[in-house]
Homo-oligomer: A and B are copies of this chain.
Amino acid sequence: MMNTAKQRIEALRGALKQEGIDFYIVPTADFHNSEYVDGYFKVREFLSGFTGSNGTLVVSAGEAGLWTDGRYFVQAERELAGSDITLYRMGEEGVPTIQEYLKKNVSDGQTIGFDGRVISASFGKKLEKAFEGRNVSMVYERDIVDTLWTDRPAIPASRVWAVPEDLCGETAAQKLARVREKMKAENAAHLLVSKLDDIMWLYNIRANDVACNPVALSYTFISMEEAVLFIQKDALTDEMRGYFRDNNIVCREYAELPGFLEECAVCGKIWCAESDVSYLLYRLVTKRGGVIGKDSPIGLLKAVKNPVELENIRKYYLLDSAALTKFLFWMKKNAGKMQLDEYSAAKKLDGMRAEIDGFIELSFDTISAYGANAAMMHYEATAEDKAEIKAEGFYLVDSGGQYRGATTDVTRTIALGPVTDEMKKHFTKTACGMLRLADAKFLYGCTGRNVDIMARLPLWECYIDYKCGTGHGIGYILNVHEGPQSIRWKYVADIGETLLEQGMIVSDEPGVYIEGSHGIRTENVLEVVNEVKNGDGQFMGFRHLTYVPIDLDAIDTSYMEASDIRKLNDYHAQVYEKLAPYFEGEELEQLKAATRAV
């Protein structure tokens, strides 16, 4: 029997020949560059058989190559076996990037093709630049694979629902007015938005078209007088149609946007964030005249939570914290006493979270990692591939939920039995970093880069770093990763930074990842708050939203400053005070012990 991938790539080659395309690029993306892609968009997987979450396929008459990152080298090798697809291990020495590969292999007179709806504007523009001055064409207006993929899943079109006003705190009309002010300030006549969580926030709607992200596939085109929402008919109930009518939002069919952009009346510059839109849309908009490519104004408006949102967030973070704490107690009690593995543990926690009133879905797939597996930052245990959990070493769990009033994200690492002194040191330094950042005072005008060192210094003093940011923003009943603010250290020229503002929420998640040995991450979510304002400026700080004990079994106070110990005890006193109402009996005793002063 012939390899399926081989057959499909041969079929694609036939289609490419007919279309006159020499190199065809298939990334892993939907039309909105969402963090997760639904079945309909898994074209690369359909063609290659490789199921990882990140990978790009490039097919020409002579070769098919798949680019993926270090997380997937082993899996890709296994899944690509027999397909004749070359695996390009991204980041390894001597491995070309896709642009380098194309630059070298595409000859003058040849044509590069891709579906311009799933390639980002920035990647497309880089390609243009790479072939500047050369006789190489780009064809991007068609999805060549669609006709070959006979049993392609339908495009998702889940039911859209409106967030009630008492949950969102600001009407769509009020939000539109604020967006239009920003448009005026930039001298923009129109704003095209493709980022799904931006659209959901703006219109106070949610759906379920992307895993873990409560969003609907949609676009919106806003002018000073009109707001047009491009959304699938099938996704709307009559009630929702009424909602949009009442809010003066004109609905048009999702697929009509490109045609609309070619024909609509344009009365000035179109604002269309280069970082958010597809190459196809960017080209269409560019054809219509002046384009403002800078980040859409919605990101920052959405990032600053309003009082109603904050109140709900505080409430749900407590409920979520209580559920996680109970799960961690359960793990401590049962590890080594019953059959437990990473996957079943995750399912247990997911079930406990699902019982919280207002729970919608998980905000991301639970990372449940035992021992050395926790050293892999993006580890995911599956029903087939998982480690057994024993009464020793560290267990790391990074998880969160979508609720009717919050999106949560929290990580704890716990000792399930004996851990080495080095592990305790790493755990303690991580906890100090998390607490020090949470306790930092700073002036308005600071960005995440100013304060990142607070979380990192205890580790940097041990010559250890974690190779990721310290923190990210979090949506409100939306994506668990949200910008534009972040807490990172590295200076990158020409990359703008976002000031920390009251009402933003950010994660605070330092960690230690020792390959082959152990992984530690302690993550709280923090609220940014204003404190004293005086002649020296507006002083600011953070407030914890997460209240889950930090495992004292893995703390060694000899690695802490007196102030670190005070911060830990203060935090635990708050944890006890906030969580006690949700605990009783033996669990309350456990809570008391877990939050005792050290």
Binding site for B on A (CB under 8 A): 440-443, 445-447, 449-454, 457, 460-461, 463-465, 467, 489-491, 493, 496-497, 499, 531-532, 534, 536-537, 539, 561-563
Contact = CB atoms under 8 A, between A and B. Distances in A.
A534 B463 contact: yes
Contact of A491 (B440, B460, B499, B536): B499
A443 B464 CA distance: 10
A191 to B, nearest CB: 21
Nearest to A563: B561
Contacts of A457: 440-441, 454
B443 A460 contact: yes
Contacts of A562: 561-562
A562 B440 CA distance: 18
Contacts of A496: 493
A449 B491 contact: yes
Nearest to A532: B463
A539 B460 CA distance: 8
Copies in the complex: 2
A530 to B, nearest CB: 12
Given A449-B450, A450-B453, 18 more contacts: A440-B453, A440-B457, A441-B463, A443-B465, A443-B489, A445-B490, A446-B453, A447-B491, A449-B491, A450-B452, A453-B453, A463-B532, A463-B536, A463-B539, A464-B536, A465-B536, A467-B536, A561-B562
Which 3 pairs from chain A and chain B are nearest by CB? A465-B536, A441-B460, A463-B532
A445 B489 contact: yes
A447 B490 CA distance: 8
A441 to B, nearest CB: 4
A302 to B, nearest CB: 20
23 contacts: A440-B457, A441-B460, A443-B460, A443-B465, A445-B489, A445-B491, A446-B453, A446-B489, A446-B490, A446-B491, A447-B491, A449-B450, A449-B491, A450-B453, A453-B453, A453-B454, A454-B457, A463-B531, A463-B534, A463-B536, A464-B536, A491-B499, A493-B496
A563 B441 CA distance: 19
Nearest to A451: B453
A91 to B, nearest CB: 14
A453 B439 CA distance: 13
A450 B536 contact: no
